[in-house]
């Protein structure tokens, strides 16, 4: 009998290009997984529209009064929705809030993020602008385990991107995203299927 595909839940706040890259990798059988649920803290987020266009369950969470985290009750609701969808792996893709106990305790060692720099350099917002301001010649992206800090969890995989003299924040971010779209699905495949 074929083994069931591991179910992943994706959390995002923005356009959802990493979600789209993961969905494409699944369609092309480069990633053996099923996206069981997409959740967003932003009802207008492109990630929700992209998921619904692919007939993937996608829901907005109740509005939070905080900017950098969710109220514990809202995060607990997110964890419950993911558990009801039988999600085994929580994949953050452009999710702009810190993750706290409600999710970390229900998904121990199962929450993963991608960040647009070579961590530990340039954690936090607009990592590509930070790289330009620091005159870095190389930056990139990092897939890492999520803990309660900001981009502080253990590093799983990285890809380098060279900074060009002509780069603007937008051009550098665009090239980092191209690297993310390859690194994230490939790293997830390795994590979800260590036996292969
Ligand atoms: C990505 O650059 C990711 O590294 C960061 O947020 C951005 C999300 O982009 N965490 P998208 O919504 O996947 O297009």
What confidence tens digit (pLDDT) does each residue in 184-195 have?
999 999 999 998
pLDDT surpasses 60 at 84: yes
Report the nearest-CA residue for atom 2 of ligand 1: 116
Q: Specify the ligand 1 atom closest to the Cα of 12.
A: 12
Tokens of 180: 């993310």
Q: How confident is the model at residue 121 (pLDDT cuts 50, 70, 90)?
A: very high
Query: Average pLDDT for residues 160-182, to the nearest whole number?
Result: 98
Strands 89-92 and 58-60: unpaired
pLDDT for 102 equals: 96
Residue 46's pLDDT is what? Answer: 98
Structure tokens at 194: 């260590």
Cα of 178 from ligand 1 centre, angstroms: 11
Are 136 and 96 spatial neighbours (Cβ–Cβ below 8 Å)?
Answer: no
Residue 3, pLDDT score: 81
138-145 β-sheet, strand order: 58-60, 34-40, 7-12, 89-92, 111-115, 138-145, 155-162
How far does the centroid of ligand 1 lie from the alpha carbon of residue 29, in Å? 22
Domains in the chain (CATH in brackets) are 7-192 (3.40.50.170)
Q: What is the predicted pLDDT for the residue at 195?
A: 81
Mean pLDDT in residue range 72-80: 97
115 a catalytic residue: yes
pLDDT of 20 strictly over 60: yes
Residue 95 CA to ligand 1 centre (angstroms): 8
- Residue 13 CA: which ligand 1 atom is closest? 12
102 C-beta closer than 6 A to ligand 1: no
In this prediction, residue 96 carries a pLDDT of 95
For ligand 1, mutation pick of 41, 111, 114 (most atoms within 8 Å of CB)? 114
Q: Can you give the pLDDT at residue 1?
A: 57
- Non-local (6+) Cβ contacts of 109 within 8 A are 145
- Over residues 110-119, the mean pLDDT reads 98
Decide if pLDDT at 136 tops 60.
Answer: yes
Alpha-carbon gap, residue 32 to 166, rounded angstroms: 38
> Which residue's CA is the closest to the ligand 1 atom numbered 1?
94
Tokens of 13: 């706040």
**What backbone torsions phi and psi does residue 34 show, to the nearest 5 degrees?**
-125, 130
Euclidean distance between CA atoms 145 and 99, whole angstroms: 11
Residue 151 has pLDDT above 80, yes or no: yes
- Per-residue pLDDT, averaged over 85-105, amounts to 97
Q: Is residue 2 over pLDDT 80?
A: no
On the question of a cis peptide bond just before residue 120, with omega within 30 degrees of 0, the verdict is yes
Could you tell which of 94, 117, 122, 140 is best to mutate to test the pocket of ligand 1, judged by most ligand atoms within 8 Å of the CB? Answer: 94
């Amino acid at each position: 009998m074929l083994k069931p595909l591991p179910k992943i839940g994706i959390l995002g706040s923005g356009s959802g290009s990493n979600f789209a890259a993961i969905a494409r990798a699944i369609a092309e059988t480069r990633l053996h997984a099923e996206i069981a649920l997409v959740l967003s803290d932003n009802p207008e987020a492109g990630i929700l529209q992209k998921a619904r266009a692919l007939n993937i369950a996608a829901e907005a969470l109740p509005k939070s009064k905080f900017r950098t985290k969710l109220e514990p009750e809202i995060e607990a609701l997110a964890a419950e929705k993911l558990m009801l969808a039988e999600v085994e792996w929580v994949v953050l893709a452009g999710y702009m809030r810190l993750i706290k106990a409600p999710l970390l305790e229900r998904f121990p060692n199962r929450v993963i993020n991608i960040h647009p720099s070579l961590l530990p350099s340039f954690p936090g917002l607009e990592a590509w602008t930070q790289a330009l301001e620091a005159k870095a010649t190389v930056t990139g992206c990092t897939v890492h385990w999520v803990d309660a800090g900001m981009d502080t969890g253990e590093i799983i995989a990285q890809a380098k991107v060279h900074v060009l003299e002509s780069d603007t924040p937008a051009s550098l971010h665009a090239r980092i995203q191209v690297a993310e779209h390859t690194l994230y699905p490939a790293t997830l495949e390795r994590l979800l299927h260590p036996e292969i």
